[in-house]
């Protein structure tokens, strides 16, 4: 039993955090909102140079050959800065699906993903829309029980605006020329695994988003003075933030366990992911609610940075399975007549 | 990361399980807040000690097994699964014991720990005073050194287990000129000392689970001082650290409550589902108990590898005490009109011990530092908000 991250994993997290905090500033995110695509090739190339786009690509295909467990702490950091680029999607969703599909398709695309030359994007019916389809060089798309692969000449897009200006969402129409790559039982398995990875990516990101909202609120309430003192010295304000810290603290371990379960292919993975997604999003939603409150009227403005992170947390809470979806999955296990629950059952 | 138990850990679990199966009393003991129940629980401590299962984390020379925190968690899981008796000497073994090992002299350890371990001496805590509750540094009970004795005068209150316990430990003001955290000394006091009056206080369940202790020129030998004179605050914080930390409320306790709550819901599903919020609350309770378990394992593994407990540990008590309250509130909703009935009431019909648990859960957000004080600590020490 070793529920700790390795020195290497923690060091990698630290260096990626430093990079992201320096590079992906709120100013840069706001600037990206004014561009057509909302995405920056220069930043993507930097991420590729750090090896991040190829983290879960095998070494034979030019990547680092790591797992989603190696990436989960980095996904938290992506959340912390509100990274608009589809890095979490690439590493935790698209590449693992390509790895599962294997064959020519994987060999053709994985090296390009690792090098940063190409982006691969996955669309599941669980999600109403497809994130970042406008920058996809290859789209892996579910339609009914079949997965298709399509290049930009094989689909058309219709943009829908999100509350989070960094999120670029599209309705995708596949053309007849799109090629089926999996169907039947194989597709069902791949779709289920992909959904778990996407939900895990959300859980990890919202942990970071919640921490960022806490940090912004602690900073703001430490500066803002009323009645002759910083408002952060008032218990009513402190307790709002303490409540967030408590929920966040107990959402971390479930997310790390889910990453372990997904990476090692444990049968408990779906259950563990749903647990993580629920408690992480709950913590992040509380962070948003209490952060906007302690910011007062400033929290309701476009100018203060809080909304960059708050809106992303709101959006992620209902993608890759909303609370109802994940509660139903957990309920199926917990309320089963042969359920094994209670002390000693957590790691079995 | 490797989330599988080692063979050694699995063997340990088997050993715990089989010993408990052979030794846990078939009939549940009476409450340790009754005289008869207290005696029964004292005897159970002796039984545990004989099997060397009393304090598994204590060193072998002191009758323990030198277990690490993961083995301790495994022990607790099996213990709660078996519904083994609650620990009447928990103030001693989980709070004072570890503090004594850190701050006690060799003489104190040899004199006190073995009798604590076998239940011969049961310990009560004596922290609070009528005017020193959340504001612990307002302690006024004095202990004046005269020769080789302290003379204690004053009053302690909310002293858990003090009615039938043999000793109490707490902080006393040894420098009457001192203020706040200074001038306090940690002293161990035999409750049989002349000049002590213990007045039982009935709790919500009507039983005297705590008491007031009056000190009228009580003489205590200097050999019962723990740590240096005037250093009591630091010693007490170490004790409170253990209290807030892992030892007092292991996840197993709440996971078993959550499991029983799921069972209760399943057995009463038709009526429970009339309120759609109930199912959601049951699911939420189950998830929170699991989260508490996962977070505790993560912390335990980190500490096993030499990590330190940080300010984030102050979230612990808020989380489990509110979880416990929520779980029992949900059980009350499921039981409906039966919820108010005592377990032995003729019409109770399998209502079980939920009512006792519900009453006890009301104390969780209050004892060991109210949750309001805990939230201040989280905000100030963990998040760095201004005082």
Instruction: Pick the closest to residue A92 from A254, A263, A329, A284 (CA basis).
Output: A263
Which chain A residues are Cβ-neighbours of B373 within 8 angstroms? none
| CA distance to partner chain A, nearest, from residue B297 (Å) | 7
- Residue A215 is part of which domain span? 187-334
Is residue A159 domain-resident?
no
Chain A, residues 309-328, CB within 8 A of chain B, namely: 327
| Range 12-51 of B in CB contact (< 8 A) with A | 13
Q: Do B375 and A214 touch (CB under 8 A)?
A: no
Interface test with A, best of B289, B299, B311, B383 (most A CBs within 10 A): B383
Q: Is the pLDDT of residue A158 over 50?
A: yes
DSSP state letter for B1: -
Nearest CA in chain A to B5: A1
Q: Looking at the domain assignment, is residue A74 inside a domain?
A: no
CA distances from B383 to A232, A233, A244, B387 (A): 11, 12, 11, 11
Facing residue for B387 by CB, picked from A233, A251, A343: A233
A70: in domain: no
Give me the residues of B, 57-116, that contact A with CB < 8 A: 70, 74, 76-78, 80-81
**Is A171:A160 a contact under the CB 8 Å cutoff?**
yes
Interface contact A347-B5, CB threshold 8 A? yes
Q: Which residues on neighbouring strands pair with residue A158, listed in sequence order?
A: A171
Q: Complex ipTM above 0.85?
A: yes
Give residue-wise pLDDT tens across range A20-69: 999 999 999 999 999 999 999 999 999 999 999 999 999 999 999 999 99
Contact criterion met (CB < 8 Å) for A1 and B9 = yes
Which of A6, A246, A273, A278 is best to mutate for the B interface (most B CBs within 10 A)? A246
Contact, A131 vs A205, CB < 8 A?
no
Average pLDDT over residues A306-315: 98
Residue B338 DSSP code: G
Q: Judge: B262–A341 Cβ closer than 8 Å, yes or no.
A: yes
pLDDT of residue B244: 47
Q: Which residue positions in chain B have pLDDT lower than 70?
A: 240-246, 248
**Whether the predicted pLDDT of A157 surpasses 80:** yes
- For residue B278, list chain A residues with Cβ-Cβ distance below 8 A: none
B379 touches chain A (CB under 8 A): yes
pTM of the complete model: 0.97
Residue A209 is assigned to a structural domain of this protein: yes
Burial of B15 (0-12, 13-18, 19+ CB in 10 A): middle
Instruction: State the CATH number of the domain containing residue A305.
Output: 1.20.140.10
**Closest residue of chain A to B322, computed from CA coordinates:** A246
Given this model, what pLDDT does residue B351 score?
86
Six-digit token string for B202 = 């009935």
Cβ contact, residue pair A334, B286, below 8 Å: yes
Q: How many CB pairs under 8 A join A and B?
A: 171
**What is the count of structural domains for chain A?**
1
Closest CA to A175 of A144, A145, A143: A143
Q: Which residues of B are catalytic?
A: 243
Q: Determine, yes or no, domain membership for A175.
A: no
Domains located in chain B, CATH noted: 7-88 (no CATH), 123-239 (2.40.110.10), 249-382 (1.20.140.10)
Q: Are B355 and B343 in contact (CB under 8 A)?
A: yes
- Percent above pLDDT 90 for chain A: 99
To probe the interface with A, which of B80, B258, B284, B294 has the most A CB atoms within 10 Å?
B294
Which of B203, B134, B117 shows the shortest CA–CA distance to B163?
B203
Q: Is B382 on the interface with A (CB under 8 A)?
A: yes
Residue A100 pLDDT > 60, yes or no? yes
Q: Is the backbone of residue A175 left (phi > 0), alpha (psi -120 to 50) or beta?
A: beta
Whether A278 maps to a domain, the answer reads yes
Chain B residues with CB under 8 Å of A234 CB are none
- Within-domain flag for A304: yes
Residue A329: inside a domain: yes
pLDDT at A106 over 70: yes
């Amino acid at each position: 039993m070793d529920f700790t991250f390795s020195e290497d994993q923690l060091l990698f997290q630290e260096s990626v955090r430093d990079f992201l905090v320096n590079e992906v500033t709120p100013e840069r995110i706001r600037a990206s909102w004014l561009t057509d695509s909302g995405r920056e090739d220069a930043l993507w190339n930097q991420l590729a140079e750090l090896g991040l786009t190829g983290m879960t690509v095998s070494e034979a295909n030019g990547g680092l050959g790591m797992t989603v467990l190696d990436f989960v702490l980095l996904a938290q950091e992506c959340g912390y800065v509100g990274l608009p680029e589809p890095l979490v999607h690439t590493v935790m969703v698209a590449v693992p699906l390509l790895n599962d599909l294997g064959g020519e398709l994987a060999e053709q695309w994985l090296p390009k993903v690792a090098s940063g030359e190409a982006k691969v994007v996955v669309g599941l019916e669980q999600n109403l829309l497809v994130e970042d389809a406008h920058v996809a060089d290859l789209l892996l798309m579910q339609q009914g029980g079949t997965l298709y692969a399509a290049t930009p000449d094989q689909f058309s897009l219709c943009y829908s605006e999100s509350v989070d200006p960094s999120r670029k969402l599209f309705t995708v129409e596949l053309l007849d020329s799109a090629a089926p790559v999996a169907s039947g039982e194989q597709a069902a398995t791949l779709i289920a695994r992909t959904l778990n990875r996407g939900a895990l990516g959300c859980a990890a990101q919202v942990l970071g988003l919640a921490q960022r909202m806490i940090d912004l609120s602690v900073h703001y309430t430490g500066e803002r003075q009323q009645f002759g003192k910083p408002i952060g010295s008032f218990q009513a304000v402190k307790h709002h933030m303490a409540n967030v810290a408590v929920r966040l603290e107990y959402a971390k371990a479930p997310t790390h366990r889910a990453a372990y379960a997904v990476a090692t292919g444990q049968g408990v993975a779906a259950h563990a992911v749903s647990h993580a997604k629920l408690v992480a999003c709950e913590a992040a939603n509380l962070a948003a609610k209490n952060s906007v409150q302690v910011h007062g009227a400033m929290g309701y403005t476009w100018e203060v940075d809080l909304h960059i992170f708050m809106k992303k947390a709101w959006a992620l809470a209902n993608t890759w399975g909303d609370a109802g979806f994940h509660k139903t999955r957990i309920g199926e296990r917990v309320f089963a007549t042969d359920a094994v629950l209670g002390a000693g059952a957590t790691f079995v | 990361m490797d989330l599988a138990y080692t063979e050694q850990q699995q063997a340990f679990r088997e050993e715990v399980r089989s010993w408990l199966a052979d030794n846990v009393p078939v009939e549940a003991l009476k409450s340790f807040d009754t005289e008869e129940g207290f005696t029964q629980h004292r005897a159970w401590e002796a039984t545990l000690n004989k099997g060397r299962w009393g304090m598994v984390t204590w060193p072998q020379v002191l009758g323990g097994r030198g277990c690490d925190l993961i083995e301790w968690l495994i022990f607790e899981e099996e213990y709660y699964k078996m519904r083994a008796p609650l620990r009447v000497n928990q103030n001693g073994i989980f709070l004072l014991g570890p503090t004594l090992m850190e701050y006690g002299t060799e003489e104190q350890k040899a004199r006190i720990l073995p009798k604590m371990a076998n239940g011969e001496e049961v310990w009560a805590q004596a922290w609070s005073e009528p005017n020193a509750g959340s504001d612990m540094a307002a302690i006024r009970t004095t202990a004046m050194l005269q020769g080789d004795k302290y003379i204690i005068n004053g009053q302690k209150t909310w002293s858990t287990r003090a009615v039938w316990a043999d000793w109490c430990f707490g902080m006393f003001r040894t420098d009457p000129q001192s203020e706040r955290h200074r001038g306090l000394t940690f002293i161990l006091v035999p409750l049989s000392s002349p000049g002590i009056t213990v007045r039982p206080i009935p709790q919500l369940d009507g039983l005297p689970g705590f008491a007031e202790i009056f000190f009228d020129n009580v003489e205590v030998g200097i050999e019962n001082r723990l740590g240096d004179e005037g250093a009591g605050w630091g010693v007490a914080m170490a004790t409170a650290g253990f209290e807030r930390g892992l030892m007092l409320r292991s996840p197993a306790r709440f996971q078993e409550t959550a499991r029983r709550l799921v069972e209760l819901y399943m057995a009463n599903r038709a009526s429970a589902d009339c309120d759609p919020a109930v199912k959601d609350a049951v699911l939420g309770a189950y998830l929170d108990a699991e989260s508490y378990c996962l977070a505790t394992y993560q912390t335990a593994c980190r500490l096993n590898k030499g990590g330190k407990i940080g300010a984030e540990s102050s979230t612990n008590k808020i989380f489990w005490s509110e979880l416990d309250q929520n779980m029992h509130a949900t059980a009350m909703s499921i039981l409906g009109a039966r919820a108010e009935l005592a377990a032995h009431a003729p019409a109770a019909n399998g209502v079980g011990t939920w009512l006792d648990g519900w009453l006890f859960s009301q104390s969780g957000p209050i004892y060991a530092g109210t949750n309001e004080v805990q939230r201040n600590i989280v905000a100030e020490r963990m998040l760095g908000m201004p005082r």
